[in-house]
Structure formats: C-alpha cells, structure tokens
Amino acid sequence: MTVVPLTSASLSPPPPQVDFPVDWRATGDALTDLPSWVGAECDRGANLVSVSVPVQSCVGEQLAQIAFQAFSEALNTLGAPATRVWAFLPSITAHDSHGLNRYMQMNIGRTQAYAAARWPLPFMPAGTCVGHAGDLLVVHALALPGAVRSIENPRQRPAWQYSSKFGPSAPPFTRAVLSQHLLLASGTAAVVGEDVVHPHDVQAQWQETLSHFATLRSLAQARGQWRSVQIYVRDHCDLSTVARLAQQEFADGVERILHAPLCRQALLVEVEAVADV
C-alpha cells in the first residue's frame, strides 16, 4: 500500500487535455488523476492524501477488506474530516462473488472505513468512483478547512440511502459539498431516484446530468459557472459526441475527458466539477 500526503507545493494544475486517452489509468498521483481546482484548494490550506494498492486479483471479502484498509489509511492520515473523496477501481462492474460486483464489494469496505474514521464525518463526503485500466485501487481524500455542508438533490435519492439492490452497503457519498467559497459536485450522472434513465442514449444522459448540475447550483446559490470539469465516458465511440456537447455547455471549463468504465453498466457518462459561490 502506497500512501502519499500532498502539500500545496506538490500539486500544481495539470495541462489541459485535448485528446482522449484510451485505457486511462489512475496512477495514484493526484497531479495526473485529479482536476486543477484541487491544487488551488491545497494552496488555501486543504489537506490531501493519496493511497494506492493492487487489487486486480482480489475478490470477495478480500477486496472489501483491502478497500477498508485503503480508505481508512487515507481518511486517518488527513488530520481532519474528509470533504471530497475519489476512488478508481479496476474492473469496477465485473461480477465478483455472492451476487455482488466489485463496486459493491468496495462499498462494503468504504462504508466501514467511513464509520470508523479517526475524525468522524459530519456527513458523507462528496465522491467520485469510476473504473480504470490499471491494477490499483486508488483513493484520493481531500479535507477542506472551514465550515462545509452537504447538499442533496431532491430529484435523486441520497446515494447512502440506496436500496439493497445496489449491494449490502449503499454508496457512501453526498451529491455535493458547499464550502465558504466553493461548490463541489460529486461525480454526477443520469440517475433519477436511484435508477439510471436513458440507458442507451448518451445525449439524453448528458442532458439529464446537466439538469442535476443546474439543481445543485441553484440549491447552493452559487454565482460562478462550472469549471475544472472532468468527464468520464464509458464507450470510446461516444468520446467525440461528449466532447462536442461539453464544449457547447462548458467551453473552456472542461479540463479532461477520460475513457473510463463507470460504476453501473447502464451509465454512459459521468461529470464532476466545481463552481465559485
């Protein structure tokens, strides 16, 4: 297991990415895995810890236990409650055991780690969890200084209250977190209630995702536009379509468009971003 606490000096904005890396791999290096706003928040005093551990050959309870260890290490090294967490898991939707897939197994360990965190979480952190082509479970955990609060989207069931059809442990994340100066949107996709909508239509899923972003921004009363947009696209054939739609919606606010598996087979696109309050 590799643990990397980062300071503001160690994280600078990545260059804009205009191509689409096939078989994208999370490296465990926040500079290459995360959008640039994270470095700016480290300059403001945020703490960031990265943990990576090989899990490609892990199955069942072993995967859940290693996930528990990885998330625990990240959370307990932060020195403060986590505000925003990213996880990148190999073969994320592959069948695992006991009727569960790998994402469900990871959520068992993640939920246990959140419950046992050294600094108790006042609410579920904002989160992103997608697949990647590497063999590491990569966890990045960020703690923002100052007052923060969670925001849930009334059009979506809180993820941490999902029904058991999504596994014995619901995904522990909130839809967005609001700090004193920034709105942080979790990885957001075409889920209404707790179910995927428009399962075969990437443009319709994109519009549904934008609707969720508008709702979050309205609830937070954020004045700034969405920026540092990082987009994950399931199918390579949809990359150019999503790039065109993203340019129309966010223009220069898009930093990365990555080809990556998502946490449900029916999801085609997932978007994360921040907006100034």
Are the C-beta atoms of 65 and 111 separated by less than 8 Å? no
Instruction: For residues 249 and 158, give the distance between their C-alpha atoms in angstroms, rounded to a whole number.
Output: 26
State which amino acid sits at residue 23: D
Instruction: For residues 153 and 6, give the distance between their C-alpha atoms in angstroms, rounded to a whole number.
Output: 31
Instruction: For residues 105 and 227, give the distance between their C-alpha atoms in angstroms, rounded to a whole number.
Output: 32
pLDDT at 168 over 60: yes
Q: Residue 6's pLDDT is what?
A: 60
- Helix runs in 102-201, H state only: 102-115
pLDDT in tens, 171-218: 999 999 999 999 999 999 999 999 999 999 999 999 999 999 999 999
pLDDT at 247 over 50: yes
pLDDT at 125 over 80: yes
- Quickly state the pLDDT bin for 15 (edges 50, 70, 90): very low
Q: Residue 22's pLDDT is what?
A: 65
pLDDT at 165 over 80: yes
pTM of the complete model:
0.93
Max Cα distance, the chain (Å):
47
pLDDT at 12 over 70: no
Q: What percent of the chain has pLDDT over 70?
A: 93
Q: Residue 9's pLDDT is what?
A: 43
Instruction: For residues 92 and 129, give the distance between their C-alpha atoms in angstroms, rounded to a whole number.
Output: 9
* 98 Ramachandran zone, left/alpha/beta (phi>0; psi -120 to 50): left
pLDDT at 11 over 90: no
* 180-197 burial code (b ≥16 CB/10 A, e <16): eebbbbbbbbbbeeebbe
Domain ranges of the chain: 2-276
* Vertex 136 angle, CA 134 and 138, to 5°: 110
Instruction: For residues 125 and 85, give the distance between their C-alpha atoms in angstroms, rounded to a whole number.
Output: 6
pLDDT in tens, 108-118: 999 999 999 99
Q: Residues, the chain, total?
A: 277
Are the C-beta atoms of 2 and 74 separated by less than 8 Å? no
**Coil, helix or strand at residue 129:** strand
pLDDT in tens, 80-117: 999 999 999 999 999 999 999 999 999 999 999 999 99
Average pLDDT over residues 14-35: 77
Q: What is the CATH number of domain 2-276?
A: 3.30.1330.40
Q: Residue 8's pLDDT is what?
A: 47
Average pLDDT over residues 136-156: 98
Instruction: For residues 75 and 85, give the distance between their C-alpha atoms in angstroms, rounded to a whole number.
Output: 9
Strand 254-259 to 176-178 pairing: unpaired
pLDDT in tens, 34-65: 999 999 999 999 999 999 999 999 999 999 99
Q: Residue 2's pLDDT is what?
A: 72
Instruction: For residues 17 and 140, give the distance between their C-alpha atoms in angstroms, rounded to a whole number.
Output: 20
pLDDT at 10 over 70: no
